Amino acid sequence: MHPTNALGSPVPRREGREKVTGAARYAAEHTPPGCAYAWPVPATVASGRVTAVDGTAAAALPGVIGVLTPFDAPRLGASEDPTLQLLQDPRVPHRGWYVALVVADTLEGARAAASEVRVTYASEPHDVILRADHPDAYTPDEANGGHPGHREQGDPDTALSAAPVRIDCTYAVPPLHNHPMEPHAATADWDAGRHHLTVHDSSQGAGPVRAALASLFKLPEDGITVVSEHVGGGFGSKGTPRPHVVLAAMAALHYGRPVKLALPRGHLPATVGHRAPTLHRISLGAHADGTLTALTHEVTTHTSRVREFVEQAAVPARVMYAVPDVRTTHRAVALDVPTPSWMRAPGEAPGMYALESAMDELADALGIDPVELRVRNEPASEPDSGRPFSSRHLVECLREGAERFGWARSRAPRHEGPYLIGAGVASATYPVLVAPSTARAHARPDGGYLVEINATDIGTGARTVLAQVAADALRVPVGRVAVAIGHTGLPAASLAGGSCGTASWGWAVHDACAALTARLGSHRGPLPAEGLSASADTTQSAKQKSPYARHAFGAHFAEVQVDTVSGEVRVRRLLGVFAAGRILNPQTARSQFKGAMVMGLGMALTEHSTVDAAFGDFTENDLAAYHVPVHADVPDIEAHWIDEHDKHLNPMGSKGIGEIGIVGTAAAIGNAVAHATGQRLRELPLTPDRVLTALHGSA
């Protein structure tokens, strides 16, 4: 055996060939013999009760197998998530909530029959519009991620009133939609003879899907197999089981036919979670030298009446800057809206947009360079907890980024014809999370190795990086390691979310391979025909509370051009520098950083959803109305990182990288627009109508 250095190498994606040849199969691309198709029927009122579902016309159509309604659908067992209690209750908590399911022999038949289902409602008044002064706003005990809803240190109000310089601003981030390219889909197949349910699901974690299905359908977990081999993106919206997989399984069990259910794109905004809108009020107090004396960040957001989800947007202010008197608080309003959930960097993305915009406004007010202002407020320990950072290289990211971007040269706003050109900067942060996982490593007599773990590759390159982790732990070339993931028959592992997949799975893979290496070291003679195996379970190590505050940091720089005629903002340059521990695969890591920056570009300029006051759900419910960035919106992006050696993380020394790329992007672009135009827009996205109004006043 020879030492290898797979980690840190740009090892190509293992499933690359399957993806470029079309051989990679996603959840809806399995068609068992006799497969039927399901099409759900969404509610057309925002609040009320279903009084009747008339499926007569639908059921009379050729090939229709059945129509399930809240009055006759099979009764489900318990679920932690009430959004999975489908067709159990005539109550309609929001528009788009499913009120019937049609199953037919063909996709076309199911779709046509769904349009023939007649639903009658007892409609009630609804309340769907979030306002900062909504009378029902409350302070939740916890926000998403288990963070306290409210934190206060010192006396921020007094400190603010005493501050020599003050900024007091409000910012707004609209509802945003994950919109992975693969709509949520599942194919469920019930084998009555074996009493076994097999489900192909588009999910960020097959394990939690199996657990939920077992509870809902009162089946033993070992009577269910969930496969999530290839997943066409998730960005949080497939992080937990979603309604489609429950409906597919319900229909398969009820009708005794394999059932495929792929959600229509237009259903996604109301059924799979969204980033909740956030209204921010930020007050900063500072000395004339820019040193912060006080900070308050108050976030108001909506949740649904079905399940509380509070976007933890005030949390990053607990991490970022040295400030003695600080209040960070969340207020939530439960409305008759679809249930919000995770979308890439929940909390950090909208929270850092607001905080980093406010820091830019403070820099403007003080006449201090925005990079320098941030450097001057670098804390010695995590402000909220007082714990030392395991590693924090924000200042290095800012300095490196400024150098690479040519920040000093870009500080003079300029004209080019009708264009105003400006540059902006923002910091980024994302916590280091880790979850328990198990893995098994197996050595074959032919010199090959197999690593098994129920990890999920949603496009991150998980298969590839886990092979790299294994190869180095086994001290063999990466080509000799096969990796099996995406199947509940494999050792249980955490889901692909919270930027903690690689850390959590990699840790278990590392430990299993280290144990196997030890076994091989003490083994004498040729391996037995069945090979040798070793397993690992990181429950103890991953749950151990660290004495350190562990976060990744980054700095974003953007150059924009603002068209004074059309109001269009275009990003000319976008550059990020990240300090995220050891980068395990520079090729896939760069793609993740850059991809998240593209999503941040969308958040800044194009992505915008609206809760319709009259109808109660999202107006922008397809990809023609909800504008994700396209090729023409995206310039050459630069993603860099600095070497960070942090011994307080995991055996690989890595921090998560899937989300931090979005975190500072919107603020950097917004700050660049303010720099270019001299006008501050405080509501995203920065669409031409808003920019023109800011430039020329309302017509």
Partner 1 sequence: MHQAGSGSDPGGGPPHSAPDGAHRSRVTLRVNGTDRDLDVDHRVTLLDALRETLELTGTKKGCDHGQCGACTVLVDGRRANSCLLLAVAQDGAEVTTVEGLADADGTLHPLQRAFLAHDAFQCGYCTPGQLCSAVGVLGEAADGQPSHVTGTAAPSGPVTLTTDEIRERLSGNLCRCGAYNGIVEAVAEVGAGMNGADVTAPSSSAIPPRPDVIV
| Tokens matching residue 659 | 């989300």
Q: Which residues contact 123 (CB under 8 A, 6 or more apart)?
A: 45, 47, 48
Please tell me the distance from the alpha carbon of residue 534 to that of residue 515, in angstroms, as a whole number: 6
Complex with partner 1: residue 200 or 302, whichever CB lies closer: 200
Please tell me the distance from the alpha carbon of residue 166 to that of residue 598, in angstroms, as a whole number: 33
Complex with partner 1: residue 154 or 266, whichever CB lies closer: 266
Q: Provide the binding-site residues for partner 1, judged by CB under 8 A.
A: 12-13, 15-26, 28-29, 31, 62-63, 105-109, 112, 178-183, 230-233, 235, 262, 264-265, 458-461, 587-588, 590-592, 594-599, 622-624, 628-632, 634, 636-637
CB of 92 to partner 1, least distance (A): 26
CB-based burial label for 175 (10 Å; 0-12, 13-18, 19+): buried
Complex with partner 1: residue 357 or 588, whichever CB lies closer: 588
Please tell me the distance from the alpha carbon of residue 456 to that of residue 453, in angstroms, as a whole number: 9
Q: Would you list the DSSP string of 606-631? A: T----B-TTT-SBS--STTTS----G
Angle subtended at Cα 333 by Cα 327 and Cα 338, rounded to the nearest 5 degrees = 130
Complex with partner 1: residue 185 or 306, whichever CB lies closer: 185
CB of 598 to partner 1, least distance (A): 3
CB of 44 to partner 1, least distance (A): 20
Complex with partner 1: residue 182 or 382, whichever CB lies closer: 182
Complex with partner 1: residue 229 or 336, whichever CB lies closer: 229
Which letter, b or e, does each residue of 494-530 get, where b requires 16 or more Cβ atoms within 10 Å of its Cβ? bbbbbbbbbbbbbbbbbbbbbbbbeebeeeeeeeeee
Residue with the two structure tokens 């080509």: 479
654 contacts 433 by C-beta, under 8 angstroms: no
| Tokens matching residue 293 | 């004396």
Please tell me the distance from the alpha carbon of residue 91 to that of residue 149, in angstroms, as a whole number: 29
Please tell me the distance from the alpha carbon of residue 227 to that of residue 689, in angstroms, as a whole number: 46
CB-based burial label for 203 (10 Å; 0-12, 13-18, 19+): buried
CB of 111 to partner 1, least distance (A): 8
Q: Angle, to 10 degrees, between the axis of helix 586-605 and the axis of helix 348-366?
A: 70
Please tell me the distance from the alpha carbon of residue 542 to that of residue 417, in angstroms, as a whole number: 57
Question: Which of these, 41, 76, 114, 603, lies nearest to 271 by C-alpha position?
Answer: 41
Which of 116, 298, 361, 659 is flagged as catalytic?
659
464 contacts 588 by C-beta, under 8 angstroms: yes
CB of 563 to partner 1, least distance (A): 16
Complex with partner 1: residue 39 or 171, whichever CB lies closer: 39
533: which strand partners?
A: 442
Furthest-apart CA atoms within the chain: distance in Å: 86
Count of C-beta atoms within a 10 Å radius of residue 64: 23
CB of 439 to partner 1, least distance (A): 23
Question: Which of these, 656, 581, 121, 6, lies nearest to 348 by C-alpha position?
Answer: 656
| Tokens matching residue 159 | 């400190």
Complex with partner 1: residue 293 or 460, whichever CB lies closer: 460
332: which strand partners?
A: 138, 301
CB of 206 to partner 1, least distance (A): 16
Residue 248: its H or E element: helix 243-255
Instruction: Indicate if 308 belongs to the active site.
Output: no
CB of 594 to partner 1, least distance (A): 6
Q: How far from the centroid of its chain's Cα atoms is residue 72's Cα?
A: 35
CB of 203 to partner 1, least distance (A): 13
CB of 252 to partner 1, least distance (A): 17
Residue 504: its H or E element: helix 501-522
Complex with partner 1: residue 228 or 301, whichever CB lies closer: 228
Alpha helices in 256-388 (DSSP H): 268-271, 348-366, 370-376
Please tell me the distance from the alpha carbon of residue 507 to that of residue 493, in angstroms, as a whole number: 11
- The pairing of beta strand 637-641 with beta strand 569-579: parallel
CB of 333 to partner 1, least distance (A): 29
Which letter, b or e, does each residue of 18-32 get, where b requires 16 or more Cβ atoms within 10 Å of its Cβ? eeeeeeeebbbbbeb
CB of 372 to partner 1, least distance (A): 30
Complex with partner 1: residue 509 or 597, whichever CB lies closer: 597
Phi, then psi, of 67 in degrees rounded to 5? -130, 120
Complex with partner 1: residue 191 or 633, whichever CB lies closer: 633
Complex with partner 1: residue 113 or 492, whichever CB lies closer: 113
Annotated catalytic residues are 659
